[in-house]
Amino acid sequence: MFGRFEVGRRLGAGGMGAVYVATDTRFDRLVALKVMSEDLAGGIEFRKRFRREADVLARLDSPHVTAIYEHGEDDGTLWIATQLVRGGELGNLLRLRGPLPPRKAVRVCGQVAEALRASHSAGVLHRDVKPSNVLLRDPDAANLHAYLCDFGIADTGNDRLTAAGGLAGTWQYLAPERGGGAPATPATDIYAVGCLLWACLTGHPPYSGSGVEILVGHLEGDIRQLPGDGPEQAGLNEVLRRAMAKDPADRYSSAADLRDALARLEAELPASMPPLRPSAPSEPTARPRRRGRMIGAAVLALLLVGGGIGAAWALRDDDGDRSDGSASPSASGSPSASPSDGGTSPSAEPSPSASAKPAPPVRDPSTKQAVTFDLNGDGRGDLAFHDAFDATPAVMMANGGGFFAAPAQVLRKGLTMVVRGDLDGDGAEEIVGVEKGSEYSADGTKGNTTMTVTVGSASGTPQVLKARSAMGVQSDWSGGAMLADLDGDGRDDLVLATANAEYAESFDVWAAISTGDGFERLKRLYSGPEVVSHVEPADVDGDGDDDLVLADESEGSLAVLESGGGTFTPTDFEQTLTTVDEFMIGDFNGDGADDVLTLDGVDSKAVVLQRKRGAWDAQVWLTDKSGAFGVGWSQPGAAISDVNGDGKDDLVQFAGTTDPQSRTIRVFVASRKKFAPPVDWGTYTCGCEDYTAPIAPRENM
């Protein structure tokens, strides 16, 4: 408890501390509780900054500024309780869905301008207006409602808390005069709203490149304008031209004037006008050298900033790890900068000479760096669905931070077996279709088994790979396919396993090791007497390569085949359970070893099995007291996805609704030997039947 606030699940953590969902016990409402780091809270300057942020928020009166309810101190720990906004960041929405329709873009920016009007009237400059500092009440609403948040670096006319020469703000939204060393003014916030409008209309900030190139773009580049000569483009371009004027005197005279201009423009724009998609931002083009001294001074300022104000920016919380986007607190942050923010800020880019784009991440096989179900490489788990019975197209729903984006097709229809895994070792998983076939010699006397692997893509042409057995070797395999890293190189291999509970005499495992751009020959790695109805890949010993967990659901028993050196070895690592309706694999405590999650529909429990000292340790992580999920765990289904990217895998339920053609997506976040109560992350209107389910690393044929 902090004051009257009962702390719940963590939303995120950053340099300043952590943010939690909390319950206000006096008014029975949920709030965002920001708890400051003890290391920082001991400093006098930090305490001044904390109190200033609380005072700033408390005196702002606007429906578009997150409200502060209370702040205080408990046993030396500083905290602040603010309004909880559930819809996520504007930056996430732009990254996942692309540009907004012009009318919505203008509406959102008009509301940000209204928030600035209120703050400027109170003598407060924001100084860091950008998409990740704009929260949305409901991203799917026809009329978006936006909140401007994170006044942690706001300026109240007292700059003593910022080191000499320091700049606050993000390069992509920084006014030209600020790059030249001039102080912040209301006009600098107005310029940032102009940049924000461009980002909402196009999906990216106005200037790109290194820190220096972006700064030169703001100083010397052309003011961004939309193509086309229609009245709608003319109105939008006029606002962009004035808001982003190089000279502060040429901008709107106040945030209120900008708000009014945007309100008039919103009324003129048709609601049916689709998003505009101008070409990608070009490199900044410098004008003649008549302003070379100003550019030189600005670059020098940038260099000084990069090397000299680390202490000041250490107080900021811009790039903290939002460990759960199911709601967005007023202190905004995200694991990685979104494209709409440009990924570059004074605090994130200490060296402007680093102009090359960073190489794609490569997973270290000795660690568990890959995020479960991360399909787009943004460090957060996503979802994907497929109907094996009707062989529908596979669709991906990207994680938007508190919601899952609209479905996007990633794999063609006609594939009955669809799995997921990381084939190229880049840390992001792919959706993969697997088809069995045969090839024969010219005389028809010899044949071999072939597996066609189609790697899905949300854009572009899917990649098609082949795995073959040696000529003359044909398998009668007819079981399940899965992707598992058998050799610990970070690339998942193709594994075929025969579930023999009903018809086969032996349990057989075939595998084709990944080469990065294909597969080696299919080889039989194991044949044994086990009775198996369900098999899952899992690194239960945490050594970097995947083992196999085998289940005989009729007996309620689990066993493990340990992987090593291209073979599988039976172990005495066994467990008998009373009921196993469904089991899944995930690292739920973040220790680097996979655990087994069993879903008991009879007793409405989620039990996690962890390997400890050669035996299973079973702990109940969730008990559904309401009974609402008792018959729904395995139908329509559940998935494991690390939705907040914190290294602890979370449980996602794909639950039925009163509408048989839609499903509610509920997220149970893993934390300290338990799953938090469910949070709704949206509804998937799929026109689906009971066979539509989340895609797993394994699928039966």
Domain ranges of the chain: 1-358, 383-700
Q: What is the average per-residue pLDDT within 29-41?
A: 78
Mean model confidence pLDDT for the chain: 75
Q: Which two tokens stand for residue 646?
A: 């914190």
pLDDT at residue 166, rounded to an integer: 42
pTM given for the model: 0.54
DSSP 3-state assignment of 140? Answer: coil
Confidence of residue 635 (pLDDT cuts 50, 70, 90): very low
128 catalytic, yes or no? Answer: yes
pLDDT at residue 251, rounded to an integer: 97
Confidence of residue 473 (pLDDT cuts 50, 70, 90): low
Report which of residues 74 and 205 the model is more confident about. 205
pLDDT at residue 153, rounded to an integer: 42
Q: Which two tokens stand for residue 115?
A: 């928030």
Q: What share of the chain has pLDDT > 90, as a percent?
A: 19
Give, as one character, the DSSP assignment of residue 173.
Answer: G
Q: Looking at 24, 61, 75, 128, which residue is catalytic?
A: 128
DSSP 3-state assignment of 194? Answer: helix
Q: What is the average per-residue pLDDT within 625-653?
A: 71
- Which pLDDT tens digit goes with each residue over 65-122? 988 888 888 877 888 888 888 888 898 888 878 899 999 999 999 999 999 999 998 8
Report which of residues 294 and 365 the model is more confident about. 294
User: Is CATH 2.130.10 correct for 383-700?
Assistant: yes
Same fold for the pair 1-358 and 383-700 = no
DSSP 3-state assignment of 187? Answer: helix
Query: What residue ranges in 441-581 does DSSP mark as E strands?
Result: 447-455, 463-468, 480-484, 493-497, 507-512, 523-528, 534-538, 547-552, 557-564, 567-570, 575-576
Q: What is the average per-residue pLDDT within 583-601?
A: 85
**Quick check: 206 and 225 in contact, CB under 8 A?**
no
pLDDT at residue 318, rounded to an integer: 35
- Which pLDDT tens digit goes with each residue over 308-364? 322 222 223 333 333 333 344 333 333 334 445 554 444 333 333 333 333 333 333
Confidence of residue 171 (pLDDT cuts 50, 70, 90): confident
Residue linked to tokens 């423009």: 265
1-358 folds as Transferase(Phosphotransferase); domain 1 (1.10.510)
